[in-house]
Structure 1
């Protein structure tokens, strides 16, 4: 690791109220100032174009110490008492990632403020990167402000025009919405359409949206608003003044309406503004990761990327069930005797079926098999606000946990644990140690956790401060047991996987499962890398080959809005160190030639090159395997399809390669002919240009293998 820190200036006395800091390449300029009322403000430009116009900063408080300053907002009457500039440059190596080395290079401006009359201290730290700005509030130790309760954070992001945006509604409990594309001025009118029936109804404002928020200006700037290092704080959504195009932060409240309980010294998460005139640079940015602390786990040798299959898709499609019996309308885990109940005949997590999945995983080189519905309690787990549903250690009668793990290990495969909390964080923490110890006993090293339903205790939200603290508590406790965590329905990630790389996956958006419920919009996978994936990888569960659900479950008439070739491409375009081949083994056996790409594609990368990108339209990415000289390319396209002319100049010059191209057939179409694909091979090198076409809702995938000299 290489670090260079250069202190450029330090002033402890009063300084000028307007201060600037630019990015290392000079394209991004951050300006800090105080308004006439002493309100902190900032603005951002990119190549002299406005990105964020003058926007004010501060907090309103519900309670503060001493009592003489109760309800005195941290919004005005500030004076600059110090300013410090510095430069930082390092190259660090992630445990897993889209590249083996990441450059962290920024210029910093730290502004120290004192509020006249109260003498309270507040610092604002800005870090200016070539691709944008991160800033956070910092409260040093002080007698004037020790314990305080946030009523609202008042951070503004004033946009310079009526930009095109890709957005989902502001919600305290879910990100599982289909994205909308509209002008900022149209968000209010489209909000009702955006809030669909199959997600919670906590949208707090007719113009409230979630981050990561992607926008494009009329003159071709791409702007992304998000946050980094969300720890011991509430999630930030954005309220929009759609007359003036000004966003203001809106934190998720707790059951009492408070937005955060803080004790100095402390700081907020980073607020981030990414900007470029090239959409590919938004995808290439590592600003979110860089704003997080370095890895906190001393020994990371046990953290390994995972490619897995699972007894899951047939339950999602309705073919099978999580529960063992239909005899019990309610469950009391202290008294129920499953041996005296009648099996329903559709329980998927049974010994015979799990062995079938283990055999398939072993035959085709998969690391693990996820088994959901293995444990008691699924008959009465959802929607009743029950504190105690699962104990996370007791299997159903038809799931022999000891024998199945021994069978899996004999085949060189591990089982992946599943913990559905039903939203009861208190109950999960009650059982967490025993649950992790059970995993250690039987050789599990990864767990998929779930938080479906309303959060308990009653009144809390998925994204309030206490629940966010719970998610991190589970990750830290898992690390003590050398367990990797893939959390579903948890808060969307904000780069903390740099600090805790045992957090190898998250959901926190509409994944493939929604395709079985009625479908995602065709352009969905061309937006997620610009939004949800900015903060960390997603367990999207791609690889569905049988796109018509009626062939899995005759009672399900839904169709996945994708071609088969695009399903292959998603393993490249939707980055994750945890990748699932989500379809049924029997469906893969119908298309073994296409399945070969899923078997081959890595889940850890040495280098990534972003070849083409336009949010909502198309994404094409090339990635080099971390452990070989092979490259993989993936393209995902919207309903209009996409024509590519790909230059392979990222390949080593003077070397020859063989490209295996998995493409949409000429007559492929996500709706009319989704399973039409071609597989061709050709010799290529760094001078080659490939002309390829992605069908409507389609894509292509390429494996490029270096040939021996």
Structure 2
């Protein structure tokens, strides 16, 4: 999260405007290199496109929701009003590789309303940076819509080529799979179902975010989210034939819906970083800029540190979490080796994982207080 210490420049300009001659509403990045086009179809389906220079990066992609308690947000929308603004500030990080962070974007806000009897409203906000975009949905306060029980968020990301993709399966239980490198058309997350990696639940051919793609001309894309608060995590369902992603929210077996919110509220930002090379992805501040500022004034008690851990070697196959394999990693002997190494190399901590009973498949679940006999 960001902490604003000083603002060196803030410039906002609000413009109410009409669609261009093609009917699409657009907004550019500050350097004019990225462009977002938005419109609704003849039957009122909202969609967007993204272009970098003259290259189409995201083709026509539709937006909307399914609800457990109401008819879906799919079509039947009209555009009530649009507004643009420009924002430019510089704020300071409390620690890290960079002190001053520039937060410069052009924003487009579209206010939609259903044509039908309910006349429910939905706003969509795009923020376009020089190195990518963020967009989110806003559910404003309204008379005919009080609570949203969201079963699906139907955000599409339709791509224009079969990108080389660095991905991990969209597991609803764990976030510790090793990543794969394949073409987008070859992604098969379902092959990890029932793999012996702690608890897993992979209901769809989906990938976790961030997921990074590299095109044949070197274009780099990375899909993720920002300001994830009071909302379900987003995985991306893969269409290997049409080369597209679609948001697939993480849910629970206990409820038919994945998000329950009282209006007004907004969703997290859906982020797409767009750069010419990998180093520019690493240097990007798009996601941290889209996160809300920290609510804590004093963060001096945070002490960043390095640590070693008895868990990464398990991912590499050198040892295991449980004792049944005969190569248990979290033993007293191994922990002492990590402690000695860390002390010798001025590393402040050691994380030990796999020391407690329950990591084996037939041990009846985790026991967070009873260690294995060798620890």
Report SS of the residue matched to 1:4.
Answer: coil
Change (3 A) 1:10 1:305: same
Aligned residue number for residue 296 of structure 1: 295
**1:358–1:25 CA distance, 2 compared to 1 (3 A):** same
How far apart in 1 are the matches of 2:129 and 2:102? 11
Say whether residues 1:235 and 2:233 are aligned partners: yes
Q: What is the distance in 1 between the residues matched to 2:284 and 2:59?
A: 22
1:67-78 → structure 2 map (5 Å cutoff): 70=70, 72-78=71-77
Per the alignment, residue 261 of structure 1 pairs with 260
Contact 2:193 2:202 in 1 (8 A): no
Q: Secondary structure at the match of 2:87?
A: strand
2:66 to 45, 53, 60: 60
**1:255-281 per-position Cα deviation (integer Å, ceiling 9, x unaligned):** 224211111111111111111222321
> Residue 7 of structure 1: SS of its match in structure 2?
coil
Query: Residues 23-172 of structure 1 correspond to what in structure 2 (within 5 A)?
Result: 23-63=29-69, 70=70, 72-117=71-116, 118-172=118-172
Deviations 1:284-307, CA, capped at 9 Å, x for gaps: 211111110112211111011112
User: How does the TM-score come out when normalised to structure 1?
Assistant: 0.45
Whether 2:332 is the aligned partner of 1:348: answer yes
In the TM superposition, residue 73 of structure 1 has moved relative to its aligned partner by 0.7
Task: Show the counterpart of 2:220.
Answer: 222
Matching of residues 517-528 of structure 1 within 5 Å: none
Retained in 2: the 8 A contact 1:226–1:271? yes
Superposed displacement of residue 209, structure 1: 2.0
1:517-556 alignment, distance < 5 Å: none
* Stretch deviating more after TM superposition (126-135 or 216-225): 216-225
SS where residue 142 of structure 1 aligns? coil
CA deviation vs aligned residue, 1:392-413 (integer Å, no higher than 9, x gap): xx999xx9xxxxxxxxxxxxxx
Report deviation, 1:7. 1.9
Q: Distance in 2 between matches of 1:246 and 1:224?
A: 13
Q: Distance in 2 between matches of 1:151 and 1:191?
A: 22
Deviation readout 1:374-400 (Å, 9 max, x if unpaired): 9xxx345765246xx447xx999xx9x
Closer/same/farther in 2, CA of residues 130 and 314 from structure 1, 3 Å limit: closer
Which residue among 364, 367, 375 is the counterpart of 1:384?
364
Q: Shift of residue 199 of structure 1?
A: 5.6
- Label 1:37 to 1:199 Cα distance change in 2 as closer, same or farther (>3 A): farther
Distance 1:197 1:347 in 2: 20
Asked if 2 retains the 8 angstrom alpha-carbon contact of 1:38 and 1:78, the reply is yes
The 1-side partners of 2:46 and 2:306 are apart by 48
Matches within 5 A, 1:442-453: none
Show CA shifts across 1:609-647 (max 9, x none): xxxxxxxxxxxxxxxxxxxxxxxxxxxxxxxxxxxxxxx
Structure with the bigger percentage of helix: 1
Q: Secondary structure at the match of 2:138?
A: strand
Alpha-carbon separation, structure 2, partners of 1:31 and 1:187:
29
Q: Are the equivalent residues in 2 in contact too, given 1:92–1:102 (CA < 8 A)?
A: yes
Task: For 2:131 and 2:89, locate their aligned partners in 1 and report how far apart those are by CA, in whole Å.
Answer: 16
Say which SS state the counterpart of residue 187 (structure 2) adopts. helix
Kindly report which structure 2 residues correspond to 1:389-468, keeping only aligned pairs within 5 A, or say none.
389-390=367-368
CA contact 1:169–1:210 (8 Å) conserved in 2: yes
Cα distance in structure 2, aligned partners of 1:366 and 1:211: 30
1:154: how far off?
0.4
| Structure 2: stretches of 5+ with no match in the other structure | 1-5, 324-329
The answer (yes or no) to whether the contact 1:111–1:123 under 8 Å persists in 2 is: yes
Which residue in the other structure is 2:3 paired with? none
Instruction: Name the CA shift for 1:195/1:183 in 2 (closer, same or farther; >3 Å).
Output: farther
Give 1:25 deviation, angstroms: 0.5
Q: For residues 314-363 of structure 1, what are the alpha-carbon distances to aligned partners after superposition, in whole Å with 9 as ceiling and x for unaligned?
A: 999669999xxxxxxxxxxxxxxxxxxxxxxx96299xx86x97777666
| 8 Å Cα contact 1:320-1:348 kept in structure 2 | no
SS at match of 2:173: coil
Offset from partner CA, 1:169-204 (integer Å, 9 cap, x none): 22211232232222222225x853798543655222
Contact 1:228/1:289 (CA < 8 Å) preserved in 2?
yes
SS in 2 for 1:289: helix
Q: Which has the higher contact order (CA 8 A, sep 6+)?
A: 2
1:279 is matched with 278
8 Å Cα contact 1:137/1:268 also seen in 2: yes
Report how far residue 243 of structure 1 moved. Answer: 2.2
Unaligned regions of 5+ residues in structure 1, if any? 64-69, 323-345, 400-709
TM-aligned CA distance change 1:364 to 1:15, over 3 Å: closer
Q: SS at the partner of 1:42?
A: strand
Pick closer, same or farther for the CA change 1:360–1:241 going to 2, 3 Å. closer
Rg larger in structure: 1
CA RMSD of aligned residues (A): 3.3
- TM-score normalised by length of structure 2: 0.83
Change in Cα spacing, 1:283 to 1:370, as seen in structure 2 (3 Å) is: closer
Q: Whole-Å Cα distance in 1 between the matches of residues 79 and 171 of structure 2?
A: 36
Kindly indicate whether the alpha-carbon contact (under 8 Å) linking 1:24 and 1:107 is maintained by their aligned counterparts in 2: yes
Q: Quick check: 272-281 or 294-303, which moved more?
A: 272-281
